[in-house]
């Protein structure tokens, strides 16, 4: 078992003995991922442009609003403030990605920042590319179901009953969406809107864990291996500007240069202008691409 994972398990469980990795395959997670990947492949046999457009819209709603804006920039790093109804809406969108509930997601990501590419990081490529991409989910305890244990690292969320409920029942919104899509568009829409969308979103998010710690440029000399990767940024709504993010994690803006496309930041500016977002923390660069400020913007 990778050394960093042993530390992560020590952080999130009280077990004193860690079984061999080969004996600790998380069968529930593994079977679920196999089924979803099979469904994603099956979806390709029902291709239409209409299904593609609907899926892209659902992908933006769930991974864009739910993960990039919600779980990551809002719930984990508190890069901005928003009304509680919109805060909860982002959380529900995040649950639609099959990436677990808000408490477990936030806790894992906060541990990642504390231990990034060092002992205790849940998913560092230093433990292997496969491990950082998906292996860390397939082996070990399913901490996304450990609401009580993970609440230690997300006490701000654990104080709200809604987040506790959503973390315990994070699969409910996805099941509900599946029923609606099946009723509206039959098997084709169900396969595209659930299986293909979820699988693409999972791999896109996992690439932030793996690819952006291996390939790309480094603007800032951070203590980890984080890098800015343009193609990961394009499929994750700006999350691929990972070196920028690790240098200034509380900044709601990840693409710090004009050529670093950051759709989530562009949307945040719109939401701020219409009064739905406030106290936005922003890292900015001067002409020499050097960080000059991190401030709160009204």
β-strand pairing of 291-297 with 280-285: antiparallel
pLDDT score of 23 more than 70: no
pLDDT > 80? residue 67: yes
**267 touches 277 (CB < 8 A):** no
Show Cβ contacts of residue 74 under 8 Å, excluding neighbours closer than 6 positions: 80, 82, 87, 90
pLDDT of residue 221: 95
Segment 2-6 shows an average pLDDT of 47
The mean pLDDT value for 210-220 works out to 97
- Partnered with residue 81 across adjacent β-strands are 278
Is the pLDDT assigned to residue 20 strictly greater than 90? no
Q: How many CA atoms lie within 13 A of 73 on its CB side?
A: 33
Strand partners, 293: 284
- Predicted TM-score (pTM) of this structure: 0.88
Q: Average pLDDT in the 133-153 region?
A: 85
Q: Does 296 score more than 80 pLDDT?
A: no
The pLDDT tens digits of the residues spanning 259-291 come to: 999 999 999 999 999 999 999 999 988 644 444
Distance CA 173, CA 192 (A): 17
């Amino acid at each position: 078992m990778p050394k960093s994972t042993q530390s992560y398990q020590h952080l999130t469980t009280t077990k004193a003995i860690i079984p061999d990795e080969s004996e600790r395959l998380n069968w529930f997670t593994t079977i679920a991922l196999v089924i979803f990947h099979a469904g994603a492949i099956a979806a390709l046999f029902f291709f239409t442009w209409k299904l593609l457009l609907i899926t892209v819209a659902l992908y933006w709603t769930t991974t864009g609003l739910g993960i990039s804006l919600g779980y990551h920039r809002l719930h984990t790093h508190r890069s901005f403030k928003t009304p509680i109804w919109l805060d909860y809406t982002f959380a529900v969108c995040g649950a639609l990605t099959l990436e677990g509930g808000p408490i477990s997601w936030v806790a894992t990501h906060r541990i990642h920042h504390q231990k990034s590419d060092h002992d205790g990081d849940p998913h560092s490529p230093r433990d292997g590319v496969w491990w950082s991409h998906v292996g860390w989910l397939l082996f070990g305890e399913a901490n996304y179901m450990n609401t009580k244990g993970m609440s230690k690292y997300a006490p701000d969320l654990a104080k709200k009953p809604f987040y506790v409920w959503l973390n315990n029942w994070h699969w409910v919104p996805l099941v509900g969406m599946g029923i609606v899509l099946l009723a509206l568009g039959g098997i084709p829409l169900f396969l595209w809107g659930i299986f293909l969308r979820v699988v693409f979103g999972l791999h896109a998010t996992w690439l932030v864990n793996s690819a952006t710690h291996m390939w790309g440029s480094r603007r800032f000399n951070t203590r980890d291996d984080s890098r800015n990767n343009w193609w990961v940024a394009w499929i994750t709504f700006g999350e691929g500007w990972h070196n920028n993010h690790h240098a200034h994690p509380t900044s709601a803006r990840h693409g710090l240069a004009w050529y670093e496309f950051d759709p989530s930041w562009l949307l945040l500016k719109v939401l701020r202008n219409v009064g739905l977002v406030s106290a936005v923390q922003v890292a900015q660069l001067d002409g020499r691409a050097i960080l000059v400020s991190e401030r709160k913007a009204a």
